[in-house]
Chain A
Amino acid sequence: KQEVTQIPAALSVPEGENLVLNCSFTDSAIYNLQWFRQDPGKGLTSLLLIQSSQREQTSGRLNASLDKSSGRSTLYIAASQPGDSATYLCASLSGGYNKLIFGAGTRLAVHP
C-alpha cells in the first residue's frame, strides 16, 4: 500500500531564500507525481505534474524532481516570496483508477 510522507511538516523562512520541500513514497511503481498548493480556505492548485518517465519539471521559480528508485521527489522554490506562503502537498498516482495518494503536506511561511 502506497504511503506518501512529506518533510518537514512546517517551514518558516525569510523572503529571498531558496528552499526544498521533500516528498517520499514507499511504492516506486508510480505512474506520476503531482505537486499542489493549498491556501487556507481554498482548493488545491496544481503546480507541477511529473510523469514516471520524467526526471523533472519546471514552471517559473518552481522545479520538481522525481527519483523513482529512491522513492523521492523534491520541490525546489527559488527566491521565495511572501506570496508563496501556503501548504504544499505532493500526491502519487500508483494504482487504481487515477486515485491520488497524498502526503500530509508542508506548511510554508515566507516572512518579509
Chain B
Amino acid sequence: EAQVTQNPRYLITVTGKKLTVTCSQNMNHEYMSWYRQDPGLGLRQIYYSMNVEVTDKGDVPEGYKVSRKEKRNFPLILESPSPNQTSLYFCASSLTWDRSYEQYFGPGTRLTVT
C-alpha cells in the first residue's frame, strides 16, 4: 500500500531533550516536506526537500533540523525542544517538486514538550 508513515505517533518529552521524528514514504517520491498544525494558526511548512541531499527552509524552520540522505526518508530533528514546539506534525510527499502533483500526508505525530 502506498503510504507515508511517521514515528512515533505520540511523544511526550521534556525541554532540551533531543528527539527525532521519522518519516518514510514507499512511493519513490522525490519531494518531501514537514508541516506543523496549531490551533488558530493552521498548517505551516517547516522544511522541505526536493531530492536527496537537497533541503531548504519553509515558513517556520526555527528550532528544527532535517536531513535527506535517502530518497524514502526525511527525519525531523529537534535538537533542544521547547514548549512552543508542542504541536501536531505532518510529513508530506509528492512525486516531484513540479507543481502538478498531488501531495500525500502521513498520519501525524503529536508532540508535547513539558
Do A and B pair up? The answer is: yes
| A residues at B contact (CB < 8 Å) | 31-32, 34, 36, 41-46, 49, 51, 89, 91, 93, 97-100, 102-105
- Which among A41, A98, A103 is the interface contact of B31 at CB below 8 angstroms? A98
Given contacts A42-B108, A46-B103, contact A100 B59 (CB under 8 A): no
The number of residue pairs between A and B whose CB atoms lie closer than 8 Å in the complex comes to 57
A-B contacts besides A89-B43, A97-B97, A102-B43, 11 pairs, CB < 8 Å: A43-B106, A43-B107, A44-B92, A44-B105, A46-B105, A97-B50, A98-B31, A98-B48, A98-B94, A98-B99, A102-B42
The answer on a CB contact under 8 Å between B107 and A42 is yes
Bound complex: CA A93 to CA B100 (Å): 10
Q: How large is the interface on B (under 10, 10 to 19, 20 to 34, 35 or more residues)?
A: 20 to 34
B56 / chain A contacts, CB cutoff of 8 Å: 97
- CB 8 Å contact bits of B87-114 with A (1 = contact, 0 = none): 0001010100101101111111000000
For A51, the chain B residues whose CB sits under 8 A away are 100
B-side residues, CB < 8 A to A, are 4, 31, 33, 35, 40, 42-43, 45, 48, 50, 56, 58-59, 90, 92, 94, 97, 99-100, 102-108
Bound complex: CA A105 to CA B97 (Å): 25
Interface pair B48/A97, CB less than 8 Å apart: yes
Q: Tell me how far the C-beta of A72 lies from the nearest C-beta in chain B, rounded to whole angstroms.
A: 19
Which A residues are in CB contact (< 8 Å) with B45?
99-100
A98–B33 touching, CB < 8 Å: yes
How far, in angstroms, from A31 to B101 measured CA to CA in the complex?
A: 10
For residue A76, give the distance in angstroms from its CB to the closest CB of chain B. 19
Do B43 and A100 touch across chains, with their CB atoms under 8 A apart?
A: yes
Given contacts A34-B103, A93-B99, contact A99 B31 (CB under 8 A): no
CA distance A12 to B99 in the complex (A): 34
